[in-house]
Amino acid sequence: MRLRFRGTRGSVPAPGPDTVRHGGNTTCIEVRSDADDLIILDAGTGIRSLGMELMEERPVSCHIFISHTHWDHIHGLPFFLPLFATGNAITLYGPPDPLSMTGIEAVLAKQLEYPHFPVRVAELRADIDYRTLTDRQTVDLGFATVSTLLMNHPAMDFGCKVRCDGRTIFFTGDHEPFGNIYDPGDDDYEEYGRIVDERNRALIDFLRGVDVLVADAQYTEEEYRSRRGWGHSTFERTLALARDAGVGRVCLTHHETTRTDDELDAILKRLRASGEWGGLTFDMAREGEMVIL
């Protein structure tokens, strides 16, 4: 199995000379089996270049898993060219919308409607199958399995564990560490603390044995103090999670929009020099980089 980062930026695309090395497109990860079967994790702007390449090897058959439906994880979908061509088979998986009580099929329907976009869903020519996911569900694709876990984010957000060719990766989507929202002494502090402990243990158990963790690590610890509740983690907390779960390798992604390549390199250097992570192997995700398992 191999994965390739097509987009590594969080929140909004950030093209320009200061983001060339680590990338300016939003989240999209291409996952290939040894037999070249294709899974796509999230559909940020990074999916556009992948779609252009896929059109050169038609017919296209792929499985797209959407962690959650915030814009930076879906706004490349209307520009994914295989959707517009006959003979292509695309299965789109993702969470429901608990407010509108709709499934993942509503994502494209809302994006591809006037006045937002000139092409409507009815005009797409590919064979598109929509499958709405639930927590702790395992989808058997034949060549791989994909298992979901509900993460902590201001939207229904599923992390995805992909098992393929004897190897396993876990992609968090967006995730903020579970923490107690009450202060010591509040009536609900102890009870909520037990819930937090249970969720943390469940996440660590889910990650055990994972070969590669691809994780949201948008903030430094200092930045996080003023961004609690925004739904994202820090570099240090993500590495501590991987260390505690015995993960083999970590790719830190969902880079802060304003973070430059030089700043990301400086943070990576500081983290590696700290010596806090044992034998854990980790790096910043870089757009275009391929990881072979």
Q: Is the pLDDT of residue 249 over 90?
A: yes
Q: Cα–Cα distances in Å, from 20 out to 102, 155, 261?
A: 38, 30, 7
Note the pLDDT of residue 192: 87
Token couple for 255 = 């880079």
CA–CA distance, 51 with 64 (Å, rounded to integer): 12
Q: Under a CB-based contact definition with an 8 Å cutoff, are residues 157 and 67 in contact?
A: yes
Per-residue pLDDT reduced to its tens digit, 132-142: 999 999 999 99
Token couple for 229 = 């509740």
∠ CA 112-118-124, nearest 5°, is 55
Q: Is the pLDDT of residue 200 over 90?
A: yes
Sheet containing strand 249-253, strands side by side: 138-140, 144-150, 158-164, 167-171, 212-216, 249-253, 281-284
Q: Is the pLDDT of residue 123 over 90?
A: yes
Q: Cα–Cα distances in Å, from 12 out to 109, 167, 182, 195?
A: 21, 31, 31, 33
CATH code linked to domain 2-292: 3.60.15.10
Per-residue pLDDT reduced to its tens digit, 29-71: 999 999 999 999 999 999 999 999 999 988 999 999 999 999 9
Q: Is the pLDDT of residue 101 over 90?
A: no
99 — pLDDT class (breaks 50, 70, 90): confident
Q: In sequence order, what E strands does 107-232 have?
A: 127-132, 138-140, 144-150, 158-164, 167-171, 212-216
Could you report how far apart the first and last alpha carbons of the chain are, in Å? 5
Q: Is the pLDDT of residue 107 over 90?
A: no
Question: Quick one: CA dihedral 81, 73, 67, 202, positive or negative?
Answer: positive
Q: Is the pLDDT of residue 215 over 90?
A: yes
